[in-house]
A and B are shown apart, each in its own frame.
Chain A
Amino acid sequence: MAKKTTGKKTATKAASPPTPAKRESPWAHRDTKTAASLQTLADAVVKSALSGREPKFDVPTRAASNTRWNKSRGILQMGPAVSSRELFNLGQARNFMQTLLHGQGIQALIAEGKTSSLRGMFYKGLHTIQGTKEKTFDDQTESDKVLEDLEVTLGALREELHVFAKKRGTMVGNITVIDSGDEINCRRMGSGGYAIPSICEPEVIQFKDVGADFILHVEKDTVWQRFNEDRFWETHNCILTEGSGQPTRGVRRMLHRLHKEHGLPVVCLLDCDPWGHYIYSVIKQGSISLAFESERLAIPEAKFLGIRAKDYEQCELSDDVQITLNDRDIARAKQIQEYPWFKDNRQWQREINKMLANGFKMEVESLITKDISYVTETYVPERLKAEDWLG
């Protein structure tokens, strides 16, 4: 499913401004396939019901146990395990019902050629079950999980289900992006930057004038603001992105496409704590719950520039920047250390051990204690030059 041919996309070319609502879905060619797999799923349920067999379907398991570390490709992949969703199983009946309910909702979206947010889908499926006080969904989390299950079950991407997430993440730099036909010059985005959309498929986003040499991805908006204000992307000819913490699929897809299609190296500036390390891990190898998408999201060549555990001494930071590691941090750090892709990496073992030995974590902002622009003028340029990073 993750095989993408980025070449053929002409569907959006003829977008004419006067009747934007009637614009043909950019996914038209994928819709047939999605609708057909939905139909197959429902047909099987009806057939089982009418013949007196138990209605059920298989859902690929999205769990650490079903995640394979593909060492040669450097990405996480989903294993072959599937779990059965059975109607006549007390623990699964509700989920079974919700899956079909969302299936119905997606079919309607496809028919109307519209897309919906995750939250929109939650509301679309939400109602009180007849004759009870029970709601079809308790909260959006429950609904989101069902949608993710549907993605893997149908072998369709979220975009193909006409569902998108809230956009999160910002971008600026030496590049022009064509988003749904609109040209966006990322060199002229002021202080706000270009909001990376949830769907970054070639059908929606195309690149033009990619002049940057690399991508600097920072953890959060505050750090990004510092770099943008200091025009870092201009002085160092790069693209500057941030993912507001754990980057969304949209941000990761954007990075992935820029990396793959235009050969831009990705360098990450994240906090020195287990969560920063895990963000890097997700960008690099993919995540456990979205392992089925790793091939179009993971960037095995991404680098971890900082903050490094050694920086406290190397940059002569003051005591005040130390944030003591709590028990949860320590447990998480040790867990990350045991991930197969970190376990064989001696650099990373040293890095995490050093952090644990320090007994504290540090945020990127801690560099401000040196100077407001220390991070943009000294820290990052020096490290880039020295290629002092973790891979």
Chain B
Amino acid sequence: MALKQRDISVSEFFAKNRHLLGFDNPRKALLTTIKEAVDNSLDACEEAGILPDIEVRIEELVAPPSPTKPGRYRITITDNGPGIVRKQIENIFGRLLYGSKFHRLKMSRGQQGIGISAAGMYGLMTTGKPMVIHSKPHKGKPAHHIELAMDTSKNKPEVTVDVETDEFPATSSGTGTRVAIELEGRYVRGKTSVEAYLEQTAIANPHAEIVFIPPDKAFTAEDAESAEGDQGVFGSDSTASASASPALSAERSERPAVVRTTEHADRIVYPRAVAELPPETEEIRPHPYGVELGRFLQMLKNTEEKQLTGFFKNEFCRVPPAVVAEVTKSASSKAKTLTGGTYVSTVDHAAAERLYRALQDAKLRSPPTDCLAPMGVRTMLAGMLKGVKAEFYAASTRDPAVYRGNPFQIEAAIAFGGELAGDQPARVIRFANRVPLLYQQSACSAFKSVTETAWKNYGLSQPRGSAPVGPLVVMIHMASVWVPFTSESKEAIADYDEIRKEMKLALQECGRKLGSYVRRRQRMKRESEKRDVFERYIGEIAKSCEALTGTQAAQVYDALLKQAKRRTEIADAVLDEDGKIIAFADGNGRLDDDDGVIIVDPNGGPPPPAGGDAPAKAKPSADEPTTPAKKSKRPRAAAAPKQSPAATPGKKTPGKKKSSAPTTPTEPTKQPKPRMRLGADGTLFEVA
């Protein structure tokens, strides 16, 4: 691990190996810079308990002379976070591997403390311009204006400008930070663009409001990709897959996945969909299973504890005195007897190694999992609903699990149908601690879990070893105190069996819900077609019967028509998330969040906002009989009178309720079953 050898300047190392950090080409450098800044802003806001408002602005200073050559851009990210106190500014922005996040085990976006300073360094190297930072840590006091260069050989920041200024935009919190970096880069659209990143960030962070001000002009992704030779190993696969099917990526980029943003003349606004911050996460001590020998030795060396019992108790989690006694006993040798009272300073290397082995063999409880804050079914659905215009949404959150001593939790959500294209492979969007992962899809455990899930069981076609084909967007989120990335540029989740298994289970839960919905929908369609057929012949039959028996044709016709309707009543049915029929109403649907499923009336669009029980007008159409939007199982007083008489629950419900795994035992919000409603502006809000 070259990055840990302090005698080489890390800054210098980075200067030579910038591809490791996601700066391998101008296009990616621009995106990585924005990504690091936005991640920091979101982390800072959340830790300070502020609902994030983030503005991302890209200015084109020098247009790229050709699609292959980089241009020069200024990137400015402004947030309403807590700001940074003056003396910390240099360290945070001016030194690599300086950060509050690397040494702790806490679920946060940033992990290694490389990001934003690396971006600043990249800018400095490519343009010679220092980073410009405005920070306003105190309400009502002026902001700091700092310009920061960096001495790469010494890994030391150099402050070139340091003044106080009143020029800081008014924020909701009264505090905030603004970072501006000038760099060489290229602004493109497409699958791995700034827009895609922000759009996915908005999906995973519906509590944030993000404003994006793009430059006037942008080359399209395929312009660039066809021209740009691939540089470096990282990022190669996304480029390759995109250039392998330029038509596809172009199609994707033209089809707006985000539909409920508000676009103004010069900016795109990703509005806030939930007004609730994710819960604060706890920091945990490392679990012995996740610690390697070297780290263990170092911890032993650095600990302030005097005796082994204290060392194990305070430096690790899940090592109670009873385990210490057991471990020390089995680690004892003839030469040296170890006990909980042994002084740490007397433990030599050999004894330490025996201790370590004994600890690995000991039966330990799994690490605590309250340190994780999954997005939760509700937030995922809100995010998906906001970002993807589909007809069926399902989400599921798994119970926390552990890999290598690190607790983690997997969540998945899917959006199906609606305006999604049906003849393309499903789009997979991946998140780690709410950060979108845009590159190296096929190397990512999340993508592998999608290809390994048997989507055929859920009514989708799936070429062998690939993602399913159909109008589907799959979202996978991994929340963990330490997300195992395959590289420092944080693009793909490493392939641990435990992680992939959880991912598949989460996908299967969503898949089952989708499967019953798809099957039911097909059945309703079939029934509706069937009724058409019956109705067609009943008239003829009634006439023949009259000729043969003398019974009035009209009488026979009415009786048969009634029967035909009864026999195909499923066509009129309204479904719940398991595809179980909950009401035989026509029309009068409403949108609900219930047990991880939302079904949107594909014809009627979202129901009107507040005041809310106005029926979404049912527009029966031949090819889509699922007209009414989803009805909840919970009766709702205001809606009750509007239910048609046919909506009595006494009707038989063909098809047994499919057993579906219980969802979200760990939903962060404690409110029982919150109800969500989609507002006219596309935001979700809660209904009291």
Residues of chain A contacted by B530 (CB below 8 angstroms): 90
B661 interface residue (CB < 8 Å to A)? no
Chain B neighbourhood of A101, CB < 8 A: 540, 544
Contact B534–A52 (Cβ < 8 Å): no
Contact B567 A100 (CB under 8 A): no
Q: Which chain B residue has the least Cβ–Cβ distance from A45?
A: B545
- Residues in B with CB closer than 8 Å to A108 are 547
Q: Chain A residue with minimal CB distance to B549?
A: A42
Contact of A97 among B540, B549, B556 (CB under 8 A): B540
Instruction: Judge if A104 is at the interface, Cβ distance under 8 Å.
Output: yes
Cα A43 to Cα B547 with chains together (Å): 11
Is there an interface contact between A38 and B537, defined as CB atoms closer than 8 Å?
no
B559 on interface, CB distance cutoff 8 Å: yes
Q: Which residues of B contact A42 (CB under 8 A)?
A: 544-545, 548-549
Report the bound CA distance from A46 to B541 in whole Å: 10
Contact partners of B548 in chain A: CB under 8 A: 38-39, 41-42, 100, 103-104, 107
Whether B547 lies near A45 (C-beta < 8 A) is no
Residue A278 lies at the interface, judged by CB distance under 8 Å to chain B = no
How distant is the Cα of A141 from the Cα of B562 in the complex, in angstroms? 33
CA distance A104 to B550 in the complex (A): 12
Given contacts A52-B562, A100-B544, contact A39 B536 (CB under 8 A): no
The answer, yes or no, to whether A55 is at the interface (CB within 8 Å) is yes
Shortest beta-carbon distance, B241 to chain A, in Å?
Answer: 44
Point out the residue from A49, A93, A103, A107 that lies within 8 Å of B537, measured CB to CB: A93
Residues from chain A with a CB closer than 8 A to the CB of B556 are: 46, 49-50
User: CA–CA, A131 to B535, complex, Å?
Assistant: 10
Closest A residue by C-beta to B548: A42
Q: Contact check: which of A49, A50, A107 meets B547 at CB < 8 Å? A: A107
Contact of A100 among B533, B541, B559 (CB under 8 A): B541
Shortest Cβ distance from residue B545 to the other chain A in the assembled complex, whole angstroms: 5
Which residue of the partner chain, among A38, A49, A88, A136, contacts B540 with CB atoms under 8 Å? A136
Contact mask B525-543 → A, CB, 8 Å, 1/0? Answer: 0000010011011111101
Query: In the complex, which residues of chain B have a beta carbon less than 8 angstroms from the beta carbon of A314?
Result: none
Whether B563 pairs with A94 at a CB distance below 8 angstroms is no
B551 contact from A46, A93, A104, A129, Cβ within 8 A: A46
A45 and B541 alpha carbons, distance in the complex (Å): 9
Residues in B with CB closer than 8 Å to A54 are 563, 567
Q: Which residues of B contact A132 (CB under 8 A)?
A: 536
Min CB gap B570→A, angstroms: 13
Q: Does any Cβ of B come within 8 Å of A83's Cβ?
A: no
A221 to B453, alpha carbons, bound, how many Å? 67
A234 vs B382: C-alpha distance in the bound complex, in angstroms? Answer: 97
CB <8 Å contact, A97 and B559: no
Interface of chain B residues 538 through 579 with chain A (CB within 8 A): 538-541, 543-545, 547-549, 551, 555-556, 559-560, 562-564, 567
- Interface centre among A88, A94, A108, A130, by most chain B C-beta atoms within 10 angstroms, is A88
Residue contact B540 to A129, C-beta cutoff 8 Å = yes
Interface size classification for chain B: 20 to 34
CB distance from B593 to the nearest CB of A (A): 37
Give chain A residues whose Cβ lies under 8 Å from the Cβ of B555: 50
Is there an interface contact between B544 and A103, defined as CB atoms closer than 8 Å?
yes
How many whole Å from B544's CB to the nearest CB in chain A?
A: 4
The distance in angstroms between the C-alpha atoms of A93 and B547, with both chains bound, is 19
Complex CA gap A14/B533 in Å reads 51
- How long is the Cα–Cα vector from A38 to B544 in the complex, in angstroms? 11
Q: Please report which residues of chain A, range 19-74, place their CB below 8 angstroms from some CB of chain B when the two chains form the complex.
A: 38-39, 41-43, 45-46, 49-50, 52, 54-55
Contact flag A93-B534 (CB < 8 Å), given A43-B549, A49-B559, A52-B559:
yes
Closest-by-CB residue of B relative to A108 is B547
- Are A97 and B541 in touch, CB under 8 angstroms? yes
Given known pairs A43-B549, A50-B559, the reply for A88 and B564 (CB within 8 Å) is: yes
Contacts of A93 in B (CB 8 A): 533-534, 537
- A103-127 CB contacts (< 8 Å) to partner B: 103-104, 107-108
CB B563 to nearest CB in A, in angstroms, measures 6
For B563, give its contact among A46, A52, A131, A134 (CB under 8 Å).
A52
Docked-complex contact B563 and A49, CB < 8 angstroms:
yes
Cα distance A107–B544 when bound, in Å? 10
In the complex, the answer to whether B545 meets A88 with C-beta atoms within 8 Å is no
- Chain A residues, Cβ within 8 Å of B564: 88
Task: Kindly state the separation between the CA atoms of A245 and B533 in the bound complex, as whole angstroms.
Answer: 39
The CA of A130 and the CA of B548, in the complex, are separated in Å by: 20
Contact B549 A87 (CB under 8 A): no
Query: B539 to chain A: which residues have CB within 8 Å?
Result: 129-131
Known interface pairs A42-B549, A88-B563; A134-B536 also in contact (CB < 8 Å): yes
B533 touches A97 (CB 8 A): no
Binary flags per residue of A279-298, CB closer than 8 Å to B gives 1, else 0 = 00000000000000000000
In the complex, A128 Cα to B88 Cα: how many Å? 86
Contact flags (1/0) for A75-94 with B, using CB distance below 8 Å?
00000000000011010011
A96 at the interface (CB under 8 A from B): yes
| Nearest CB of chain A from residue B528's CB, rounded to whole Å | 12
CA distance A52 to B555 in the complex (A): 12
Question: Within the complex, what minimum Cβ distance (angstroms) separates B566 from chain A?
Answer: 8
Q: Is the CB of B533 within 8 A of A87?
A: no
Question: Contacts of B538 on A, CB cut-off 8 Å?
Answer: 87
Residue contact B534 to A100, C-beta cutoff 8 Å: no
Give the complex CA separation of A85 and B534 in angstroms: 14
Q: Known: A49-B556, A88-B563, A101-B544. Is A94-B537 also a contact (CB below 8 A)?
A: yes
Give complex CA distance A38, B547 in Å: 11
Q: Which residues of A contact B537 (CB under 8 A)?
A: 87, 93-94, 96-97, 129
- In angstroms, Cα B537 to Cα A41, docked, is 18
Within 8 A of A (CB), among B507-532: 530
Contact A55–B540 (Cβ < 8 Å): no
Would you list 15 pairs from A and B whose C-beta atoms are within 8 A, ordered by A residue? A39-B548, A45-B541, A49-B559, A50-B551, A50-B556, A52-B559, A87-B534, A88-B563, A88-B567, A93-B534, A94-B533, A96-B537, A100-B545, A103-B544, A129-B537
Point out residues on A near B: beta carbons under 8 Å: 38-39, 41-43, 45-46, 49-50, 52, 54-55, 87-88, 90, 93-94, 96-97, 100-101, 103-104, 107-108, 129-132, 134, 136
Which 7 residue pairs spanning A and B have beta carbons closest together? Answer: A42-B548, A100-B544, A97-B537, A104-B544, A104-B547, A49-B559, A42-B549
Known contacts A39-B549, A104-B548, A134-B536; 20 additional CB pairs below 8 A are: A41-B548, A46-B545, A49-B559, A50-B559, A52-B563, A54-B563, A55-B541, A55-B560, A87-B534, A87-B538, A87-B541, A87-B560, A90-B530, A93-B534, A97-B537, A100-B545, A104-B543, A107-B547, A108-B547, A129-B540
Residues of B within 8 A of A (CB): 530, 533-534, 536-541, 543-545, 547-549, 551, 555-556, 559-560, 562-564, 567
